Amino acid sequence: MTLQSHSLIIIIIRRPLFSREHRLAHLLRCSPSVDMKHSPLLAILLRSALSRITNSNLTDTQWLQARLPIKDGGLGVRRVASLAFPAFLASAAGTVSLQDAILARYACPTDSFFETFRQTWSDTFGSSPPTTDVMHKQSFWDRPGIQRDQTTVESSLVTCEHQASFRAAAAPHSGDWLHALPITSRGLRLDDESVRVAVGLRLGCNVCVPYACVCGTQVDAGGTHAFVCKRAPGQIARHLNDVVARAFVSDGVPVTKEPIGLAKQDGKRPDGLTLILWQCGKPFTWDVTVAHMLADSYVSATARSGGAAAEQAGGRPNMIFWHRQVACFNQLQQRHLAR
């Protein structure tokens, strides 16, 4: 049986070799495995598998970003070597009281591995160990290493476009698609090409060969020009409009898309309208606006702060006010980059 790319990447992220259900996780937490000689080989296999699944050639920086947690702008493909320290230290610190209770009647030396690794951890990251009440949590031991890798990735980003892309990847909810199970019947499965492009945009990989667009612009290998090209077919906005329309229909509210005749002055049409009254005797209408963070008008702001494009677009005055005369109006602002 051949699995699609979406299924394979979810398998790597959700049930990797170091998942809680796997015996290797037990090994990392219960034995000092920091110097495990096979961890570099496991990292090479993970990198090779991710490159083949996504049909991409990952650079060292892109691979480093892929190893970051999803909420920090990565893919969540964690290395065994990076988890050996926090896994063992959290387990050892969390079981100290239990060990003391079991061995109270015996004269036992202190755990030399725990003391040595805790000192090594402090020397490596230049910070004090977590306090006693959180020492049993692996995330507290893991966070300094994540922040170090995140800083390394950020320092390697030279252009505003790359910086904006990384800020967007670390923005809230931008990696939610990596948490969704690829269920075909629910419309949650991405085809192989969509996975390749989504991962490429998230990590800054090449997604196409350079070419000349029909609008006259020279497109680079990043392929992001399609999001801002004035002659693009507009599939993104239509897809988001379909998502909103399906949400209403699934809740039993009939809708019509792009209704005509609402504005007699200029003939403009909203993206959708409910066919039943929504509030105060008026129907509900919506309009989808996609503010792309790599557009020339936004990229300088989005390079400094993720979500700046949506905030700037949301702060603009509504271009059309006639909606409020016939319906309860709601304008949907969306950030878009590999979401």
C-alpha 220, offset from chain centre: 23
Specify the range with the lowest mean pLDDT, choosing from 14-23, 109-118, 142-151.
Answer: 14-23
CA distance 230 to 256: 26
pLDDT tens digit string along 135-191?
Answer: 888 888 889 889 999 999 999 988 888 888 898 888 888 889 898 888 888 888 889
C-alpha 292, offset from chain centre: 16
Confidence of residue 15 (pLDDT cuts 50, 70, 90): low
CA distance 145 to 125: 7
CA distance 307 to 293: 8
Residue 61 has pLDDT above 90, yes or no: yes
Could you give the angle at the alpha carbon of 84 between the alpha carbons of 44 and 69, nearest 5°?
70
For the chain, domain boundaries = 5-156, 235-336
Confidence of residue 23 (pLDDT cuts 50, 70, 90): low
- Reported as half-sphere exposure (CB side, CA atoms, 13 A), residue 268 has a value of 11
160: left (phi over 0), alpha (psi -120 to 50) or beta: alpha
> Which residues, 6 or more positions from 138, have their beta carbon under 8 angstroms from its beta carbon?
86, 87, 90, 91
